[in-house]
Amino acid sequence: MRYPVVSGRFYESEGELLHRQIEKCFQHPHGPGPAPSPGSERSIVAAVAPHAGYMASGPAAAHVYHEIISDGLPELYVIIGPGHRGAGAAAAVSDEDFWTPLGVVETDQDTVSRMKGIAEVDRRAHEHEHSVEVQLPFIQYIDPSPRIVAVVMNSQDMETAAELAESVAEATAGKDALVIASNDMSHYVSRQRAGKDDGALVDRILDLDVEGMYRTIEERRVSACGYGPIAAAMLATAPSSARLLKYMDSGDMIPMDDVVGYASVAFHR
């Protein structure tokens, strides 16, 4: 069992309080509104969601999960997050179930066993990493019995993203899967710079332009931390369109001069 490492810091550590905290993220002025009943369309194949503390990025994340439940719940969530500490394999897959204050999230062992190539089972990358963990309570809030595959990308270059995407696509073939890329945009820059740099990066994402996304990050030196997961999600699912659900920054929630940007995006088949 993988136990949380940022519970009590990034989000509430007691189940009832956490449930109420997520509910407030939905109902916040920057949020999408109350979560609806599950839809049945199922056109969303991937999404980008932020992974900061809920007090900073929670309403932005709520937009993603509001869109997912409105669209319809998938059979499987593949969550790809960046490695902030560099521990473990280039693309490290967890074979453990995850515990949160809202209960246990089961890992889909069949899909894990089908992950090949660069995707390796490696628990070390998950021991102290928050980028996957913070997505789980939101998933539990909209889905009472989710099954997941958790991946931490320690290498985010385009070649690694392409290899991981191939592994994800093959492992989830025949399953109704949704890939969630866990990402925060610009880190601790002025609001003006964050808006411009993140806007340029979001434009490439909405164009489904993976190479352009990498080029924009390099040319503008955008300090997004989960661009590899975004590339892998796009390449694995080959969406036909993308839609920006919400862009905001930490200054919208907490008074601060230098901010972190958050973009929520849905990709459709």
The pLDDT, as a whole number, for residue 87 is 84
78 and 47 in contact (C-beta within 8 Å)?
no
pLDDT along the chain (269 residues), means of 10: 97 98 98 94 97 98 98 98 91 98 98 96 96 98 97 97 98 98 97 96 98 96 96 98 98 95 98
φ/ψ of residue 163, rounded to 5: -70, -40
How much is the pLDDT for 86? 81
Contact 65, 136 (CB under 8 A): no
Q: Which residues contact 110 (CB under 8 A, 6 or more apart)?
A: none
Total count of residues recorded for the chain: 269
The CATH label, of 2.40.50.140, 3.40.830.10, 1.10.1060.10, 3.20.20.140, for the domain at 26-142+159-268 is 3.40.830.10
CA 231 to chain centroid, in Å, comes to 12
Are residues 193 and 137 in contact, defined by beta-carbon separation less than 8 angstroms? no
Q: Which two tokens stand for residue 253?
A: 């929630």
What's the token pair of residue 180?
A: 């969630």
Q: Which residues pair with 107 in a beta bridge?
A: 148
Q: Tell me what pLDDT residue 214 has.
A: 98
The full set of domain ranges for the chain reads 26-142+159-268
Residue with tokens 């515990």: 99
Q: 189: how many CB neighbours lie within 10 A of its CB?
A: 22
First to last CA, the chain: 34
Q: Does the global pTM surpass 0.85?
A: yes
CA distance readout (Å), 153 to 139, 173, 175, 251: 20, 21, 22, 28
Q: How far is CA 71 from CA 21, 76, 232, 233, 246, in A?
A: 23, 14, 22, 18, 17
Look at residues 162, 203, 144, 160 and name the one whose alpha carbon lies nearest to residue 19.
144
DSSP assignment letter at 3: P
